[in-house]
Amino acid sequence: MMDLHEMDLLRHKETMNEQLARYGVRFGIYRNNVFHEQLFPYDPIPRVIDRQNADFLEKGLAQRVMALNAFILDIYGKKQIIHDGVVPEEFVFAGSGYLTQCEGMQPPKGVCSHISGIDLVLGKDGEWYVLEDNLRIPSGASYPMIARELERRCSPKTFRQYQIEDNRDYAALLRGVMDYVSTEGVPVILTPGRYNAAYFEHSYLAEKTGARLVSGQDLFVEDNILYRRTFDGGKERVGAVYRRLGDDFLDPLNFRPDSLIGVPHIFDAFRAGNVAIMNTPGNGVADDKGIYYFVPKMVRYYLNEEPILQNAPTFLPFYGEDMKYVLEHFDELVLKDVAEAGGYGVRFANTMTAGEKEDFIRLLKKEPRRFIAQRVVDFQEIETCSGDGYVPRKADLRAFVLYGEKPVVWKSGLTRFTTNPDSYIVNSSQGGGFKDTWVLSQ
Amino acid sequence: MIKFAYRMNLAFDRLVHEHHFTLKCIPASSTRQTVTDINFQVDPLTPVWYGGDGFGNRKAMGYIRDVHDHLNIAVSGKAQIAGSRTSDPRKDATDVILMKYPTTLTKAGPAVRALLESAANACRLTGSAGDVHDFASCVMRAVHGYMTYAPGRTWIDTDAEEAAAAGQGVCQDYAHIMLAILRLQGIPCRYVCGILSGEGASHAWVEVWEEDGWTGYDPTNEIPADRRHLVLSCGRDAGDCEINRGILFAADGGLLHQTQTVTSLLQEL
């Protein structure tokens, strides 16, 4: 691997962080019901992915997303995979990700997962493992996008020194997907508003794609057609909505009735085939932590191919055999509550007290479907600047796959690292920072 | 042949605007009922468009932007009802699977479990449900015998367990309890919202999947849901069959109250 200690960019860590702060690159979280905005610390040492790894990941990710997309269409359609006994129906219909409202839906061009954020780690054994699929509203692409823009400005030299794939095409890829699935009319990005954790990203992507940034009250539906209110009191038709609010809040007449940030009847316009919603509502059925176990089986089932990417070794206590294994090897496992996201509900058995263990096992036996257990993947560290020196820190990779005519893997990604040297949880809502992700062009 | 009419009047105590609504009150034709001569009216006069939901129900939708103080809807028509069975020719009727799973409103607790046990004992059925039709009839009898019909004691969001523990409720509660019991046994069954012969409000009952079709049971009256029952919509529970769902705002921003009046009529022609 290349030596990055001589990289000119290292001298610009402070400037980069100042610039990122100036551009409003922030991350918002709610703690005790109070909204806090915090900077997302940037580290100049990138994750570097060589050509061979990049080719492998591209093939594997495209394959995985195709299978996941096929699964979503199947579940809300014929449910063949259930009839054929590959995925047990309990995991689909008893989960919170499945939405009956979506039964029989036919999304424009058959695309459900337009933007997928697949979280991976590189194990110490040199193998990539998928930890999680995010098919609802995965965020984070804007951070490496703007970081690269600023890096090039701070240190153009660095980018002459190394042969790196340009990642500034994300907006063009995203706009390409919007235009491909659009029915008729303009594309918009629908934000829940200023007090959302990823508001910076919404406004940045709108600026870069040329799609209008709108909130719920800017849109309305008439005769199953979605319109945007124009400033002169008129209306223009909307053909594609990249929505950055969750299914629950999207449409008070179809989902949570108390949502004031959604658009009444937008889901009906979608069902009628008159607008594309990106990502399609109901995708949660495929990225539930319990369904994750079945993704390699989906690849074989729908594509008739061997899965290129592997999951971390996972056990479903729902199956008697797996429950036995989990109880026997409890201390070696990490347990995840399938209903939680963002690094919440993740418990490492070896950090529990005897009493906690007892309580947890009781809960596990009572609600086996609620949990998955995984062997802890010991993943590689990446050097991170600390004072004048370097320290190793655990880091994961969120790869982005954009699906229009076919799935395209973005030649970059969000690398998140832990600030705590002992932590394995790299989720940004749990603290930590980010790095650029370089894909070598040769 | 029957004729039916359903009317709902919503009155607001102050002017409202930005009113979006969805109505599920237009009966569709199926193998059990043939609906003709539908007349559907919304007042204030406003453009209405149509769509469907995930259960095959018809939806009428509208948007009233200007201020108004009421929403009145009226639907009427004629229907031919064959009986209590809706046959489903599809061998792999996929939406049947999801009717097996309890929802928030049809989750079982101790009271529902106790009712299951007494129903099974009364019919001398063992652990396995045996014949679904016999079992469902038996559950219907048990629910009807156990519950006391008492309007105003339960709410639209009262779940099966709460109603069973209270031992009283209205048709919606009877239906939810019956669904909760059947789903405990893994039997696919669905909630039906409709109109019962005579005059009154809307009614609710249950349909149970029996091999190749749905059979209707009316636990409130302990009768099969047959030619006296017109189906308006169906779903997993009452939440899927809301006749009216709307979002609206008081024009002056004040606290809004609404009064709802429902009348329905179904009679032989």
Is the pLDDT score of A202 beyond 60? yes
List residues in chain B touching A: CB distance below 8 A. Answer: 20-22, 47, 49, 51-56, 59, 61, 63, 92, 94-95, 97-98, 100-101, 235-236, 240, 245-247
Amino acid at the residue B70: H
- pLDDT of A260 > 90? The answer is no
Q: Helix, strand or coil for residue A358?
A: helix
Task: Give the tens place of pLDDT for each residue, B53-68.
Answer: 999 899 999 999 999 9
For residue A181, the model assigns a pLDDT of 98
Tokens of A41: 């610390």
Please check the confidence at residue A310 and state whether its pLDDT lies above 80: yes
**Size (chain B), residues:** 269
Interval A39-83: pLDDT, tens = 889 999 999 999 999 999 999 999 999 999 999 999 999 999 999
Instruction: Name the residue with higher pLDDT: A1 or B245.
Output: B245
Using the predicted structure, report yes or no on whether residue B91 has a pLDDT greater than 60. Answer: no
For residue A414, the model assigns a pLDDT of 96
Measured in angstroms, the CA of A201 and the nearest CA of chain B are apart by 30
> Between 1.10.10.1100, 2.40.340.10, 3.40.50.720, 3.30.1490.270, what CATH number should domain A316-375 receive?
3.30.1490.270
User: How much is the average pLDDT of B221-230?
Assistant: 95
- Residue A5, number of CB atoms within 10 A of its CB: 9
A370 touches B: beta carbon within 8 Å:
no
Domains along chain B?
Answer: 2-82+243-268 (2.60.40.2250), 85-239 (3.10.620.30)
Q: Which residue has the tokens 């990446």?
A: A382
Which of A223-227, A254-258, A318-322 holds the top average pLDDT? A223-227
Percent of chain A with pLDDT over 90: 77
Chain B residues closer than 8 Å to A89 by CB: 97, 100
The answer to which of A105-109, A197-201, A249-253 has the lowest mean pLDDT is A197-201
CB A170 within 8 A of CB A400: yes
Say if residue A321's pLDDT is above 80: yes
pLDDT at A437: 97
**pLDDT at B10 (0 to 100):** 96
Q: Is the pLDDT of residue A25 over 60?
A: yes
> Quick one: pLDDT at residue B164?
97
Is-cis flag, bond preceding B39, omega within 30? Answer: no
Considering only the beta carbons, identify the residue of A82, A102, A271 that sits closest to B51: A271
Average pLDDT over residues A15-25: 90
Residue (of A206, A204, A62, A55) closest to A144 by Cα position: A204
What backbone torsions phi and psi does residue B154 show, to the nearest 5 degrees?
-125, 170
Per CB-CB distance under 8 Å, the chain A contacts of B97 are 79, 82, 89, 93
Residue A32 has pLDDT above 70, yes or no: no
Burial zone of A399 (CB within 10 Å; 0-12 exposed, 13-18 middle, 19+ buried): buried
pLDDT above 60: residue B129: no
- Domain regions of chain A by residue span: 8-306+379-439, 316-375
Query: What value does the mean pLDDT take over residues A325-340?
Result: 89
pLDDT at B2: 94
**CB neighbours of A10 closer than 8 A, spacing ≥ 6?**
A4, A44, A45, A385
Gap from A249 CA to chain B (nearest CA, Å): 13
Identify the weakest region by mean pLDDT among A299-303, B20-24, B195-199, B203-207: B195-199
Q: Which residue of A has its CA nearest to B48?
A: A223
Of chain B, the end-to-end C-alpha distance in Å amounts to: 6
pLDDT at residue A200 greater than cutoff 60: yes
Q: What is the mean pLDDT of chain A?
A: 92
Q: What is the DSSP letter of B95?
A: G
Query: Which tokens hold the place of A404?
Result: 């229009």
Q: Residues B38, A100, A78, B100: is their CA dihedral positive or negative?
A: negative
Could you give the residue ranges of the DSSP H alpha helices within B130-197? 132-146, 160-166, 171-184
Q: How many angstroms separate the CA atoms of A204 and A210, rounded?
A: 10
Cβ-based contacts of B47 with chain A (< 8 Å): 222-223
> A308: Cβ–Cβ under 8 A, 6 or more apart, which residues?
A56, A59, A60, A63, A64
User: Tens of pLDDT along A101-116?
Assistant: 999 999 999 999 999 9
pLDDT of residue B92: 52
Global ipTM:
0.92
Query: Which segment of A336-340, B61-65, B176-180, B244-248 scores lowest on mean pLDDT?
Result: A336-340
| CA distances to A239, A276, B234 from A228, in Å | 10, 14, 34
| Residues near A263 by beta carbon (within 8 Å), at least 6 away in sequence | A190, A216, A219, A220, A221, A226, A250, A251
